[in-house]
C-alpha cells in the first residue's frame, strides 16, 4: 500500500472511531441505566430489617437538556425491585424557568416509593441560579411532599427502627447540619443523606459512625480509562463515585446520578443503587 493511501485510510479510521465514540457518548451511555447492587451493614439495625431493600435515586435533573421521559421509564423499571425504603439525594431539576416545576410534577407521578418510607433531601440545583433562590426550593419541597417524599432539611426521622438524617445542600442557603448531628444517638441504626460529598471533610459529624449517601458528582460523567474524571465538581477528587471508606467508621457511597446536566457520558453509566440492609 502506498504511503498516501495508508495515511488516508488511517485518517478515515480515526475519524470513524471518533464519530462512533461521540455517538455512543451522546446517544447510548446517557440512557444505559445500571442498577448497582450493594450490601449495607448497619450497626444496631433491628433484626426485622435484615435483608430489606433500600434504594437510592439521585440527581434526576429534570429539564430541557435531555428527554426526561427517560427518567419516567427508569423509575418504572426501578419499581420492580419493590424497595422497602427509597431515598432521593437531591438535584431534582436543572432549573431554568417555572417549566421545570411542571416537568418535575409529571416525573414525580412515577416516583418510586418504599413500603416503609420514602425520604428526600435537596441539592444545589434545587435552589436555582447561584444556588440561592429559597422560593424555588420551597416549590420543589411542596411537590415532593405531594408525591409522598418526606423532605429532610437538617433533620432526622426514624422509620421502622432506621434513623434517617438528612442535610440541606452544602452550597445552598440553609446548610446547617450541626444542630441535628449533635443530637443524633449513636446507639441507633443511623443513615445520613448528604448531597455533596465534600461535606464529609467538614467538622460537622460529632463522631458519627455509619453510612453517608451522596450524589452531586455524577461520577464526572466523562472518565478516561484508568484516570480520574477531569470534571468532578468537588474539592476532594477522591470523591468520584461508588463506595469509599473514610477510615474513621464512616462509609461514603456516591451515586453516579440517574440524570445528567448535559447529555453526554463516557465510562460513567447512569445509576440507581439497590442496597441490601444487613445487621452490622
Q: Where are the domains of the chain?
A: 1-31, 33-279
In the structure grid, which three cell numbers stand for residue 89, read together? Answer: 439525594
> How many angstroms from the chain centroid is the CA of residue 254?
7
Which triple of cell numbers denotes residue 114? 418504599
* Cα–Cα distance for residue pair 269/120, rounded to 1 Å: 22
**Entry pTM:** 0.93
- Supply the pLDDT for residue 12: 35
Is residue 6's pLDDT more than 60?
Answer: no
The DSSP bridge pattern shows strands 155-159 and 162-166 to be: antiparallel
Cβ–Cβ under 8 Å, residues 266 and 218: no
245 - beta bridge partners? 251
Strand partners, 189: 162
Q: At what angle do helices 69-78 and 99-108 cross, to 10 degrees?
A: 20
The residue among 79, 55, 36 whose CA lies nearest residue 191 is 55
**Average per-residue pLDDT for the chain:** 93
**Mean pLDDT, to the nearest integer, of 50-72?**
97
Q: Which of 133-142, 176-185, 221-230 has the lowest mean pLDDT?
A: 221-230
Helix pair angle (99-108, 134-146), 10° resolution: 20
- In this predicted structure, the answer to whether residue 9 has a pLDDT above a threshold of 60 is no
Of 141, 162, 218, 180, the closest CA to residue 47 belongs to 162
pLDDT digits (tens, 9 = 90+) for 121-162: 999 999 999 999 999 999 999 999 999 999 999 999 999 999
Domain 33-279: what homologous superfamily?
A: Metallo-dependent phosphatases (3.60.21.10)
* Cα 215 from Cα 58, distance rounded (Å): 6
Cβ atoms of 120 and 87 within 8 Å: the answer is: yes
Which tens digits make up the pLDDT trace of 75-127?
999 999 999 999 999 999 999 999 999 999 999 999 999 999 999 999 999 99
19, pLDDT greater than 60:
no
Q: What is the secondary structure of the chain as a DSSP string?
A: --HHHHHHHHHHHHHHHHHHHHHIIIIIGGG--EEEEEEEEETT--GGGTT-EEEEE----BSSSS-THHHHHHHHHHGGG--SEEEEES--B--SSTHHHHHHHHHHTT----SSEEEEE--GGGGTGGG--HHHHHHHHHHHHHTT-EE-SSEEEEETTEEEEEPPPTTSTT--THHHHTT--TTSEEEEE-S-GGGGGSS--TT--EEEEE-SSGGGSB--TTS--TT--SSSTT-SSEEEE-SSSEEEEE---SS-SSS--BS---EEEEEEEEE-
Amino acid at each position: 500500500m502506498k504511503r498516501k493511501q495508508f495515511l488516508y485510510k488511517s485518517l478515515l479510521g480515526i475519524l470513524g472511531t471518533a464519530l462512533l465514540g461521540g455517538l455512543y457518548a451522546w446517544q447510548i451511555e446517557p440512557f444505559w441505566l445500571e442498577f448497582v447492587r450493594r450490601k449495607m451493614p448497619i450497626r444496631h439495625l433491628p433484626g426485622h430489617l435484615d435483608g430489606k431493600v433500600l434504594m437510592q435515586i439521585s440527581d434526576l435533573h429534570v429539564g430541557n437538556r435531555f428527554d426526561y421521559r427517560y427518567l419516567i421509564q427508569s423509575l418504572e423499571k426501578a419499581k420492580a425491585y419493590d424497595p422497602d425504603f427509597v431515598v432521593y439525594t437531591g438535584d431534582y431539576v436543572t432549573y431554568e424557568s417555572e417549566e421545570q416545576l411542571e416537568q418535575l410534577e409529571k416525573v414525580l407521578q412515577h416516583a418510586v416509593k418504599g413500603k416503609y418510607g420514602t425520604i428526600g433531601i435537596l441539592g444545589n440545583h434545587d435552589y436555582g441560579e447561584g444556588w440561592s433562590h429559597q422560593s424555588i426550593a420551597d416549590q420543589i419541597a411542596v411537590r415532593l411532599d405531594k408525591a409522598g417524599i418526606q423532605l429532610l432539611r437538617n433533620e432526622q426521622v426514624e422509620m421502622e427502627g432506621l434513623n434517617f438524617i438528612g442535610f440541606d445542600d452544602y452550597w445552598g442557603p440553609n446548610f446547617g447540619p450541626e444542630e441535628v448531628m449533635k443530637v443524633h444517638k449513636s446507639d441507633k441504626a443511623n443513615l445520613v443523606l448528604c448531597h455533596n460529598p465534600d461535606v464529609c471533610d467538614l467538622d460537622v459529624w460529632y463522631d458519627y459512625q455509619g453510612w453517608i449517601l451522596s450524589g452531586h458528582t455524577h461520577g464526572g460523567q466523562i472518565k478516561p480509562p484508568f484516570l480520574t474524571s477531569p470534571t468532578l465538581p468537588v474539592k476532594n477528587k477522591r470523591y468520584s463515585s461508588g463506595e469509599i471508606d473514610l477510615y474513621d467508621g464512616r462509609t461514603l457511597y456516591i451515586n453516579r446520578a440517574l440524570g445528567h446536566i448535559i447529555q453526554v457520558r463516557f465510562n460513567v453509566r447512569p445509576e440507581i443503587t439497590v442496597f441490601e440492609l444487613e445487621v452490622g
